[in-house]
Chains A and B, each alone.
Chain A
Amino acid sequence: MPHTGAEILINGLIELKVEYVFGYPGGAVLPIYDALFNSKLKHILTRHEQGAAHAADGYARTTGKVGVVIATSGPGATNLVTGLANAYMDSVPLVAITGQVQAGLIGKDSFQEADVMGITMPVTKHNYLVKNTNDIRRVLEEAFYIASTGRKGPVLIDITKDALMNLATDNSLNIEIDLPGYRVKTEGHPRQIHLARKLIKESQRPLIYAGGGSQDAALVLRQLAERYEIPVTTTLMGLGVMPSKHPLNLSMLGMHGTPWANNAVQNCDLLIAIGARFDDRVTGDVNKFAPKAKIMHIDIDAAEIGKNVPVDLPIVGDAKAILSELLDSDNLTHKAWLEEIYNFQYHDRKTNIPLQEICKNCSYEGRKNAILPCQKESTLSPQKVLEHVGGVLEDELIVVTDVGQNQMWAAQYLNVNKPHSFITSGGLGTMGYGLPAAIGAQIGRRQERVVLVTGDGSLQMNIQEMATLAGYNLPVKIILLNNGVLGMVRQWQTIFYEGRYSQTCIGSIPDFCLLAKAYAIPSLRVATENDLEPMTQALLADGPYLIEVAIDPDESVWPMVAPGASLCEMFYAQRAITPAWKR
C-alpha cells in the first residue's frame, strides 16, 4: 500500500530505532503530526522550538543516540537555529526535521516561509531540502549516518508540505546511502601510532588533555593514564572522562581551570590532546601555551589538526581505536613529575600569595575544591551548596548546567564520575540551554538523578520549559543560584571595567518559588546552613523540585586567567566591591 511522505518519515524514524522525538507542531508539519498520532513513536512537546532543540541535544549527549527534533516552517525553523548552532559547536548528533511551504510556493514570500536551508547552512554539518516524496526515506537514512559518524553534528532536513502529503510513487523505499563525498576515517595511521608510542616512552613529563571527543573513549583513556602513569586534565566538555577524585585527575584546565592543571600544561614535555580543539578559553595566549611540550593531537576531524596550535604529531581517527592501539606497551612511571605537580607552589598573580597557603588545609583530593568562597556571613556560598548537592547524590548524578558562573561552579565543585554525565553548552555558551537540556537528559536516563545548576539569568531564557518539566513529571532538581545579577558578565565588569555595572542587575523579579508554584512544581528557598537539611530532602524527592539558593552578587569564579593571557598568569580571589544598590 502506498504511503504518504509523512508516514514514510515516521516509519523511517521507527526503523532507525528512534524512541523519542522532541518538537512543536505547526501548519507545515501537520502531516507529520497526523502520522505521529497513531504511531508508537513518543513525542515530547516543549513550549518553544528552541527548548525542543536543546532537549533533543541533552537526550543525545546522555544516551549517545541521535536526538530528533521537529519544527514547522518559518518561525518554527528559525527558532531551532540557536539549538543547531549549540549542537554544532559541541559536536552533538541531532537530526532536525522542519516543514517547508509547498514547493510551488517557495520563493514567493509565502506565509511562514523562510530560507531554512540557507539560514542553517553555517550551523549544521549538512542539510537538505526535500521536495520529492520518494527521496524522504533515503535522505533520512543519510542524515542519521552523517549526524552520528565521524565528528558528530546536527543535520537538518527541510521537507515541503506537498512532499509530506503526497503518496510515494516508488514504493521500493530505497534507503541506500549515496554520499560519495563523505568519508570517515577511524583507524589511526600505523606510522603515526608507532611514533606516538615512541613519544610517550621518551617523555618524562607527559600530560593528557582530554576534550569532549574523548567521552566515548573514557574507559580506555583511563586505562592508558593508569598504565603509563600520565596525569589527565580535561576541558569543560571532557569532564567525566576521568572520575573527579581519581588521583591522576587534575581536573579542568584553562580560564577557570585548577592551578595544578594549568601549571602542568605549562611545564609538561608532551601534551597528548585527545578529542580537544585548543579553544581560546583553554589555551589563553596560544603563543605561550604549553611552551615546553611536544604536542600530540588525536582527533577524528583532520581540520582540527593545526587549526589553532601547531602540532608535532597528528593522529587522525577515532580516539577509542587509537588509544586502544597505544595501550600495548609496558607500564611506565612518572613519580617525580607527579610529585612536582602536587607540590607546585602557585602564586597569585596580583597578591603573590602562594595558593598552598590558601589551600593548606586541603587533602590532595580536596585541592581542586580549595577555592575560597566570598564568605559573607549572611548567605550561603554557591560552592558550599554545590558540594552539599554532590555529597547527597554522589555517584548517580547527571549534572546539567546553564551558562555563566553557575556553569563554572558546577564544573569546579560537583564531582562527575562517569562519561556523558556533565551536560553543558561548552562551545556556543548558550544561556537558556540548561532547563530544556535537563529535560532531554532525564528522558534519556530515567533511572539517574539529573541536577540542573542554573542562574536567575539563564533560567529565564527558557523558563517556559518549566511547563514541560511539570507536564511530564520529570524528577529534575533545579538548583537556582539566584544573585539578582548576570554574574559572569558582572564579574568581568568588576575586573575589567572598574565596577561599572552596566545593565547586569536583573533584580529580584520574579519570585521563583511563586513561579514554580504556578507550574505546580514544589520549591524550597535556601539561605542559611540550617536550610541544607530540607534541601537534602528536596534533592531526594520523587518529582521535579526547584531549589532557590540566595547567593551574594559578589561571589565570583576563581581562579581566573584573563582572556588572551598565558596560563601562567592566573589570578585569584580578588574580592569584588559590593555595588551601592545592594547595600
Chain B
Amino acid sequence: MDQVTLAVLVRNEPGVLSRVSGLFTRRGYNIHSLAVGPTEDEKVSRITIVVKEEEKRLEQVIKQLHKLVDVLKITDLTNAERVEREMALIKVHGEKRSEILQIVDIFRAKIVDVSPKEVMVEVTGDTDKVDALIYMLDSYGITEIVRTGKIALARSVKN
C-alpha cells in the first residue's frame, strides 16, 4: 500500500464534500485522513486527502476525482517539497503531571487545559511527531484524542 497526499481544490458549493467522500466509498478507495477548509478565494475550498492504496489504483483515484465537475485542480504533494502539519488535542490522566510536562516540552507541545484529574495537550507537527507524542503519553492513560488530519502546502520555488 502506498500513501499519497493529494491537495484537491474544489468549488465551494453545497454537497461537494459529499461528492468527494461518496466517490471514495463507491469505488472502494481508502481514505486515511481528510481535512477541508476555505481558501484565499471564497469560491474555492481546499481538501487535503491522504489516500492509502495500491499504486495502480492511486492513478484511478486521481482520474475519478478529476471527473467530478466541482473539482478544479488536483496536486499530488507526495513527492513535492512541501510543508505538512497536523494538529491534535490529547486528554491525559494528570497524576504524573511533571513527567507529562517534560514530555510536552520535548515535543514543543502545549498544555491548554488543566483540571484536577486531567490535562489537555495541544500538539502541531507532521504526522510522525503527533504519533510519537501520542505513543509517549499513552502509558499515562489517554482518555480522548482529536486529530485534524494532515494539511499540506507545496513550498514556494526559491531562486
Instruction: List A residues at the B interface (Cβ < 8 Å).
Output: 117-118, 121-122, 125-126, 129, 146, 179-182, 301-303, 305-307
Contacts and interface: CB of A to CB of B under 8 A. Distances in A.
A179 B60 CA distance: 23
Nearest to A302: B63
A302 B15 contact: no
Nearest to A183: B66
B18 A118 contact: yes
Contacts of B143: none
B75 to A, nearest CB: 14
A305 B56 CA distance: 11
Contacts of A129: 14-15
Given A129-B14, A181-B11, A303 B67 contact: yes
B106 interface: no
Given A122-B22, A122-B26, A117 B15 contact: yes
B148 to A, nearest CB: 26
B14 A181 contact: no
A122 B24 CA distance: 11
A125 B66 CA distance: 12
Nearest to A126: B69
A181 B15 contact: no
A121 B22 contact: yes
Contacts of A302: 63, 66
Contacts of B40: none
Nearest to A151: B67
A302 B67 CA distance: 9
A179 B13 CA distance: 12
Which residue, B56, B63, B67, B70, has most C-beta atoms of chain A within 10 A?
B67
Interface residues on B, range: 20 to 34
Contact of B64 (A118, A121, A303): A303
A177 to B, nearest CB: 11
Q: At the interface, is chain B mostly helix, strand, loop or mixed?
A: helix
B72 interface: yes
Contact of B69 (A118, A181, A307): A181
Interface string B25-57: 010000000000000000000000000000010
A305 B71 CA distance: 20
A303 B15 contact: no
22 contacts: A117-B15, A118-B15, A118-B18, A121-B15, A121-B18, A121-B19, A180-B72, A181-B10, A181-B11, A181-B68, A181-B69, A181-B70, A181-B72, A182-B69, A302-B63, A302-B66, A303-B60, A303-B63, A303-B66, A306-B56, A306-B59, A306-B60
Contact of A181 (B22, B56, B64, B71): B71
B29 to A, nearest CB: 13
Contacts of A182: 69
Contacts of B11: 180-181
Nearest to B71: A181
A126 B69 CA distance: 7
A305 B59 CA distance: 10
A146 B64 contact: no
B67 A307 contact: no
B65 to A, nearest CB: 9
Interface in B93-140: none
A117 B66 CA distance: 20
Nearest to A127: B15
Nearest to A178: B11
A306 B55 CA distance: 12
Given A121-B22, A181-B11, 10 more contacts: A181-B10, A181-B69, A181-B70, A181-B71, A181-B72, A182-B69, A303-B60, A303-B63, A306-B60, A307-B60
Contacts of B72: 180-181
Nearest to B44: A180
A185 to B, nearest CB: 11
Nearest to A180: B72
Contacts of B64: 303
Contacts of B59: 306
Which residue, A121, A125, A146, A303, has most C-beta atoms of chain B within 10 A?
A303
Contacts of A126: 69
Contact of A301 (B67, B70, B71): B67
A306 B11 CA distance: 28
